[in-house]
Structure 1
């Protein structure tokens, strides 16, 4: 199910609007990641999509039909949407089965049993259905929370920073679940680290000042950020004058009206034979590579250096490999 937002206006205080006419589109059965600085409204937008918050103006629709909250439910929300927050919202002294069942409404007892059986198999929690939440591991709690959300059979699943504050094992559990769901549901996920967005998104939406600043595939957004904010949210970057790159490295950069070019560390090469002499400012060991900060012509550049061994005291040169050389 696609999600279309038009003219969404919302503020926790009437005189201070967080969104003022926000427009956004989330294609059906794709994984969408919302990325932005703290306070940009990522979590608030999920709460609006979940029905927990009501915008002062604007519409949410799918296939041209506006969303309406269920009139037969005492809780806010949309029947086709499930929202999984960072706390996972499990009742500690209820069993796994009870925590899943309490999310269901409008089903017969037989249908509830069938739904619980189905999600417990998919999330590998069949053997803990009768155990209380206080008696299971952190990874199992996460799977139960996902099972409870999926038991509602939502077409849209909202996840607020699902990898935040998780240890390695639990984070891997969540990644497995997200991979299983990819292409099966419309997923809208908030993230605070670039690795979370680049690794699992079909589309990344950069949220800033109450609007979607840039929306694109991870590859295109990483390589061609619209501005410095978009570049900074996806990891190391370099902001350099285009004419300096063209003159010093004999390349021709496509004209797009911008004075500066945002490049990534892998667009540059450290070597000892060609390019401009540079001074090594620092080198950070990252396992199978080094992230090196160099100074050249009074500019500072992050350069990706493959390999496990790097000698900062050696004489190095830096060359640009982002575009084909001019003839």
Structure 2
């Protein structure tokens, strides 16, 4: 592994809980990793520890087989050959784009420095902005100049801390795709911090979900969405709800009884013995619920959010449970209207029943 983080702990004086608590994950050379989670979850502290800006109190950080952080060892940030891109870009306003990019290349002869500046500006799609100052560039262009400056010294690892947070929402996902292409073209290994799921999905090969200093899951985006390892990941990623369910063995098959009816052909479903009495909570994603006027189960629209090509409906069943559904936007139903719905679940994801949850649903 090119970057290996093992049981990393970072503690701040005066705090009872560690900011980073026994976190382990790794990146291969050329991979892009993303850390995502709510504010205060420890993702930026972890990034700063990798950069050498925070000391490790436990565990270790290994970069290209060199231990750069441990409880007994701390390689200074300037000796790690790590590039950083900050959320405020940190461009020098009095320098044009070329001189901003050249700032970390003073060790090179002038001709080589100019060549490298041209190479990286071309790489980020800004081959014609050498003489333009930051205030003459758009936010997206400024971000790419900052990326070019970080890539110019050919760092072993690139760190990006919420780099798109100052940009318009519509620009973020597009720029994330562009930056991914730039990093892949450069052969860079990168670790990226964001709170935006669409950014994370657009840029990351591996995504880590953090909460209260702990890493709950380090995986591909598809697995985080369809096979969340913890209830927090299931709740944090995507749209969905937890609804009470009862798992029953019926011959050679496992049946999951829910308020939406029986879920069958559940190849990945745990056996009833995994939970006391077979009682659990099942995760129902918005794309697991299909609008079908002929379905026997009806639900009332209590909230609707227009997303352009679709609505995100929040629906309440007669039994009181709430579910969510993605519905094509030409199905423009009114609030309070009752519509037919059915479940189409490819991956049954279950968790222990939360205390105080509703009783198990009887088959419909």
Residue pair 2:139, 2:167 contacting (<8 A) in 1 also? no
1:179 aligns with 181
Three-state SS of the structure 1 residue aligned to 2:26 is strand
Tell me by how many angstroms 1:78 deviates.
4.3
2:203 is aligned with 1:191: no
Q: 1:132 to 1:293 in 2, by over 3 A?
A: closer
Tell me by how many angstroms 1:185 deviates.
1.6
Deviates more, 1:104-113 or 1:116-125: 104-113
Tell me by how many angstroms 1:15 deviates.
4.5
Query: What is the rounded CA distance, in whole Å, between the counterparts of 1:128 and 1:324 in structure 2?
Result: 49
Query: What is the rounded CA distance, in whole Å, between the counterparts of 2:196 and 2:134 in structure 1?
Result: 29
Query: What is the rounded CA distance, in whole Å, between the counterparts of 2:240 and 2:6 in structure 1?
Result: 33
2:122 is aligned with 1:110: no
2:236 aligns with 233
2:265 is aligned with 1:264: no
Q: 1:116 to 1:238 in 2, by over 3 A?
A: same
Query: What is the rounded CA distance, in whole Å, between the counterparts of 2:11 and 2:228 in structure 1?
Result: 28
1:166 aligns with 167
Pairing of 1:1-327 with structure 2 (within 5 A): 2-13=2-13, 15-16=15-16, 17-67=18-68, 76-167=77-168, 171=172, 172-173=174-175, 175-182=177-184, 184-243=187-246, 246-248=256-258, 249-252=261-264, 253=266, 254-255=269-270, 257=274, 259-296=280-317, 297-312=319-334, 315-323=338-346
Query: What is the rounded CA distance, in whole Å, between the counterparts of 1:277 and 1:168 in structure 2?
Result: 35
- Per-residue displacement from partner, 1:179-201 (whole Å, max 9, x unpaired)? 22137222211111221122232
Structure 2 stretches of 5 or more lacking a match? 70-75, 248-254, 349-364
Tell me by how many angstroms 1:66 deviates.
1.5
Residue pair 1:7, 1:59 contacting (<8 A) in 2 also? yes
More relative contact order, 1 or 2 (CA 8 Å, 6+ apart) = 1
Tell me by how many angstroms 1:4 deviates.
0.5
Three-state SS of the structure 2 residue aligned to 1:67 is strand
- Per-residue displacement from partner, 1:119-167 (whole Å, max 9, x unpaired)? 1221233332233333333333222111100101123211111221302
Three-state SS of the structure 2 residue aligned to 1:102 is helix
Tell me by how many angstroms 1:39 deviates.
0.2
Query: What is the rounded CA distance, in whole Å, between the counterparts of 2:64 and 2:178 in structure 1?
Result: 30
Residue pair 2:293, 2:339 contacting (<8 A) in 1 also? yes
Residue pair 1:251, 1:323 contacting (<8 A) in 2 also? no
Q: 1:298 to 1:85 in 2, by over 3 A?
A: same
Tell me by how many angstroms 1:300 deviates.
0.4
Query: What is the rounded CA distance, in whole Å, between the counterparts of 1:101 and 1:125 in structure 2?
Result: 14
Query: What is the rounded CA distance, in whole Å, between the counterparts of 1:111 and 1:324 in structure 2?
Result: 54
Q: 1:310 to 1:137 in 2, by over 3 A?
A: closer
Query: What is the rounded CA distance, in whole Å, between the counterparts of 1:323 and 1:79 in structure 2?
Result: 45
Residue pair 1:270, 1:317 contacting (<8 A) in 2 also? yes
Deviates more, 1:8-17 or 1:113-122: 8-17
Residue pair 1:92, 1:133 contacting (<8 A) in 2 also? yes
Tell me by how many angstroms 1:255 deviates.
0.6
Number of residues of Structure 1 aligned to a counterpart in Structure 2: 319
Query: What is the rounded CA distance, in whole Å, between the counterparts of 2:125 and 2:346 in structure 1?
Result: 48
Tell me by how many angstroms 1:105 deviates.
4.7
Q: 1:84 to 1:273 in 2, by over 3 A?
A: same
Three-state SS of the structure 2 residue aligned to 1:182 is helix
Residue pair 2:284, 2:323 contacting (<8 A) in 1 also? no
Tell me by how many angstroms 1:203 deviates.
1.3
Three-state SS of the structure 1 residue aligned to 2:111 is helix
